[in-house]
Amino acid sequence: MRGLIGLVTGLLLAAAAPAAAETQYFRIATAGETGTYFPVGHALAAAASRPPDLVVSAIASNGSVANVEAISNGTVESGLVQADVAHWAITGTGAYDARGPRPGLRAIAALYPETVHLVVRRDSGITGIDTLRGKHVSIDEPGSGTLADVRLILDAHGFNERDFVAEYYKPDLAAQLVGDGQLDGFFFVGGFPSEAIAMLAGRKLGEIALAPIAGPGVNRLLADNAFFTPARIPVNTYPRLDAVETVAVRALWLTGEDQPAELIERLTEALWSDQARAVLDAGHAQARAIRPETALLGLTVPLHPGAEAFYRKAGLIK
């Protein structure tokens, strides 16, 4: 009898005890492993994680458009997305004209500017967009933000991908093919330095160049697309490559409107903590550029209520 009473008492006490906090898992979809999103996503994940009850992880993906789709259909909790792609997705315009809008996208933070690179073999004869005709160039894979941007850039110059031999490769494969002489060049949109470009330039010293994206075509591009801004890749960003004029868009960390406000507020607070600052400063060059004073610049979708609550408390929104 005493054993039965003890068992019942134990069960009652166990039922009355507070449950242990359940671990929350939160994923960040990035892009290919040799681009900038992948290392930046891992830095963000390390900065925002608060184990054991909050575990943030970064996963590879096909890039911005794929990340928008994954967030929208609930496959992942968040993703890194170019500001222009986010704008098209939420408004159902541009690259989303045929797909329809994705109105549930919400922002956690703006991160850093992403620069358009046109990487070419020096002997290719490519000195800008107007010299692409007849060349063999990769414009990135379907589902990438790079592909969407390149189509806009080409259109502003009166070109399209039928005016040259277009391929649709990830940046790492495209860089390898350029180095092997099987491609004349490739486009990449991302924060510099890119691992794939740095490795190519280092392997083919003096044989690789960055072509400028400048001139009247760019003036039309900027006039028609407010999310593009003029940019410059500094000299020696990559081994033996000169400085070059180009354009850029901002990278955004996005989530879905259905994510709990408490969770997103906690993530945002963790992202801008002193602990996170040390992690970001030890990471990729673009992770070091992620700062609270620019967290609201270039947003093309509304803030998530949880993120907005943090920024109001921090005095960044009046």
Q: Which residues pair with 256 in a beta bridge?
A: 105
Helix or strand or coil: residue 132? coil
Q: Which residues pair with 56 in a beta bridge?
A: 26
Please compute Rg for the chain using Cα positions: 23
Question: Does the residue 304 lie in any domain?
Answer: yes
The verdict on 280 and 242 lying in the same domain is no
Parts of the chain with a pLDDT under 50: 1-20
The verdict on 275 and 235 lying in the same domain is no
The verdict on 141 and 83 lying in the same domain is no
Token pair in block for residue 44: 């963000």
Token pair in block for residue 212: 């400028």
Question: Does the residue 13 lie in any domain?
Answer: no
Token pair in block for residue 255: 């989530």
Question: Does the residue 70 lie in any domain?
Answer: yes
The verdict on 255 and 107 lying in the same domain is yes
Handedness of CA 155, 188, 281, 70 (dihedral sign): positive
How far is residue 86 from each of residues 20, 79, 89, 147, 178, measured CA to CA in Å?
38, 11, 5, 14, 30
The parent domain of residue 90 ranges over 24-112+251-313
| Number of structural domains in the chain | 2
Prior bond of 193 cis (ω within 30°): yes
In this prediction, residue 88 carries a pLDDT of: 92
The answer to whether the CB of 84 falls within 8 A of the CB of 225 is yes
The verdict on 205 and 277 lying in the same domain is no
In this prediction, residue 21 carries a pLDDT of: 60
Question: Does the residue 6 lie in any domain?
Answer: no
The verdict on 192 and 297 lying in the same domain is no
Q: Which residues pair with 118 in a beta bridge?
A: 187
Nearest to 106 by CA among 90, 91, 92, 93: 90
DSSP one-letter string for 75-101:
SSSEEEEEHHHHHHHHHT-GGGTTT--
CATH code of the domain covering residue 124? 3.40.190.10
In this prediction, residue 15 carries a pLDDT of: 43
The answer to whether the CB of 118 falls within 8 A of the CB of 160 is no
The verdict on 226 and 267 lying in the same domain is no
Question: Does the residue 131 lie in any domain?
Answer: yes
**Of 249, 264, 286, which residue is a domain's last?**
249
**Of 232, 249, 266, which residue is a domain's last?**
249
How far is residue 50 from each of residues 45, 153, 268, measured CA to CA in Å?
10, 41, 12
The verdict on 151 and 29 lying in the same domain is no
The verdict on 228 and 180 lying in the same domain is yes
The verdict on 30 and 132 lying in the same domain is no
Question: Containing H/E element for 256?
Answer: strand 244-256
Question: Containing H/E element for 107?
Answer: strand 105-121
The verdict on 158 and 69 lying in the same domain is no
Question: Containing H/E element for 6?
Answer: helix 2-16
Question: Does the residue 121 lie in any domain?
Answer: yes
Prior bond of 305 cis (ω within 30°): no
The verdict on 238 and 140 lying in the same domain is yes
Q: Which residues pair with 189 in a beta bridge?
A: 116
Question: Does the residue 273 lie in any domain?
Answer: yes
Question: Does the residue 161 lie in any domain?
Answer: yes
Query: What secondary structure letter does DSSP report for 50?
Result: B
Task: Measure CA of the first residue to CA of the last residue in the chain; give whole Å.
Answer: 66
**Of 205, 229, 249, which residue is a domain's last?**
249
